[in-house]
Structure formats: structure tokens, C-alpha cells
Structure 1
């Protein structure tokens, strides 16, 4: 039982959690598939004391993380391509979670866990140095200057990310927003990551799967940009 005097984290969350009405099939995925896939002990309601997760639940598999998996196509692709690892996907947008669950059911991948919420809650309970690769694909750009502090590439996210990633772990960022690239250059290295590779259109990683967000960007004339950082 947790100590009722243990301080609980309180955070503002600015992104969307719900969108258009779910289809019947998506409601079915959420009702019947999510609980088995959901990573337990992450929320304050389930783990008020913020006890560190037992990572032996994944066996000896390396742990990878995708922050904001959108519709889940990249997450499922990576899980299928790398059956030797365990992937954790975080996404607070319920429509995206439902889309992912449909893709998981179709692909039959089993080396996945989902946290349908704020990644900072997961950071609270992950042990030090356990994440060996992290993906940040087409994150919310928060285009207005006064909202840039809400972007993932800010100290409030990067400091805990650095803590949970293993030394030498890879941190990938894909975005079509030039100002997001600028801020990544400014904020990520001081957080303890060195830039290893940078590429534009046509220079994606060999195992990259173009997401629906990237395809939309290309249709609208925006060029993708791919950054690879390495945790010091």
C-alpha cells in the first residue's frame, strides 16, 4: 500500500486526448484488447508511490520506446522487424491507441506494451538506463512561439529521457518542421545527447517506415528531416 503522504506528480497536459467518434471496430479494440497490452503500474492511480517498474516482465529483451506513436504503423513495423526486443509505445490520444490496437491484431505482434497516456508518467517509474532506443516521429510541432516550451525537445522531457536511456542508446527524431529541427539542435545536446547523423528527404534510416503524418507532409510540400542522437 502506498504512503498517503507521498507527493504525487501534477502536470499540465496540453495535447488532445480524444478526436472524432470511434468506429465500432475501434471501440471493440479498446474494450477487448487494450487491457492485455497496457503497461501496468504507470499511472498515479495504480502506483501512487511511484514504485519503479519490474523490467524482468520483459525477460532479457532490450527495451525500446516510441513517444507519441500516432496511428501506430511505425511501432508495429518495428516490433515485427525486431522480435528480439520489447517495444513500449506511449500515446495519450485515444483514437491513435485504437488504431494501433487494430494494427496489432492484424499483424499478430506480441512484443509490445502500451501506455495510453503522458510519457512523463512512464518516465517516473522506469529504472535508470533501461531504454536502448527511442523514437520521436513527427511530434506535435506546437508552432506558436509561446508554445515552444510544450515541445518534447525541452528540458522537462529530455532530462528524464536521458536518465532512462542506456549509455550509448540511440534517440531518433523525424519531423517536417524546420523550427523543430532548430530547437532540437539547441536543446538536445545540452541534455546529454550528441548528434550522430542528420539527413533530409531521402535520407531516412534503413529500417524506417514512412508514417501517415510524413505522407501528409509530403503531399503538402513539406520536407522530412531525420536526426539521430546518441546518449552520452
Structure 2
């Protein structure tokens, strides 16, 4: 899957005093397979001996870059940039692939990879537990609905925490308490409202306003469970949604 990068990055122009083939650059796709577009907008051909290494193998990519020079190709879509691969001399790429394959065939590499996987899984398990607890804390349901809070937290956590899910729960930019709150509201938006079937006008700010209104409805619904209202579950879209999870 192409890797997303920040849209705010300003890529430098090539040094006019050096041949392009000797420079490490960030470029965009050109009008055909063997051309690229420089940050200046100029279209140039790819050196004849160069080939494109597709994104996806970080180990090989690092080795190709270390051997240099390379042209990293990125394509902008909306506010994002996506990696489309790395242009480099074909011999450079083949050497990096062979080197990486040799490294990966060793018992030491296999052991290190297994250890790294175990660490990631342990870290993920700890995060899932912490996130679940943060969701329960945010819900703050009355003791009469403690079981519902646990069930709700499990559903939200299961949806929001998988690695690579791209949900707000995976961001590190905001505290876990805010991640939990945002994840609950997002889950409710899709599970307890008609948001997914709404036809929202393509007007700037309209979708944000709809989400704000739905979030207010969701918070009002949550308040019934927090205050322990005896009829909170009667004809409740949350109770209905949880029955299917």
C-alpha cells in the first residue's frame, strides 16, 4: 500500500550546477512511465539505466537510498502525498535486493524479527488495554449500566485500535483520553445515526456541521446512561447497535 506523507513538505529544486543523475531528489510522476516532474514543474526523462523500485520493502529501500543517488517519486492526491516508489540505477537496486535477501536468510535475522514481532504484539496488547480503560472512563456510565459500558468499550476498542486502521485511536498527536472520546463519538456516528445514508451537500463546512450536530445528539444519548435513567435502553439506537456487536 502506498505510504502517505505530509502535504506541507516543500521539496527542494535540483542543484543546477550538478547533473540530475548525480542528485538525490523528490519528484512527481511525469506524463509517461519514463518521465518525472521536478519540484519546479519541469518534466525530465529518467536515466536509461535506472528502474523503479516499488514501495513496500523498507529494508531494500533503505539500502538503495544509502547507495545513492535516488529519485523518490511521490504523487499528490488532495492534501496528501503518496509514495510511488524509488528511481535508482538498476544495478544498485539489484545489489540492495541481494544484500537484503542474504541478511534475511540468516538465523540471527529470523531471531531478531521474531523478537521485534513479540515486542510489537506486547505493545499493542498494552495499548488495547489502556484504550479500553480510557473509553470506559470517558463513558462514565451509572453503575446500573456498568455492563453496557464494558460492552460498548469492547466494541469501540475492537474497531478503533487495530494497527493500520487509520482511526483516531492510532494517532499519537492527542492524549489517549481525547482519542477515546473521539473514537466513541465516531463509532456512534456510524452505528447509531443515519450518517452513512445521508446525502450531504458539497458545500464547504457542511459535513463538519453535520458531524457536530450528530455528536451533540450522541452526547445527549450518553447522558441518559451516565445519569442512570431507568428507561435509557428503551427504543435506544445504542442498545440496538450493541446487540449486533
TM-score of the aligned structures, taking structure 2 as reference length = 0.20
The answer to which structure, 1 or 2, has the higher relative contact order (CA under 8 A, 6+ apart) is 1
Which has the larger Rg? 2
Higher helix share: 2
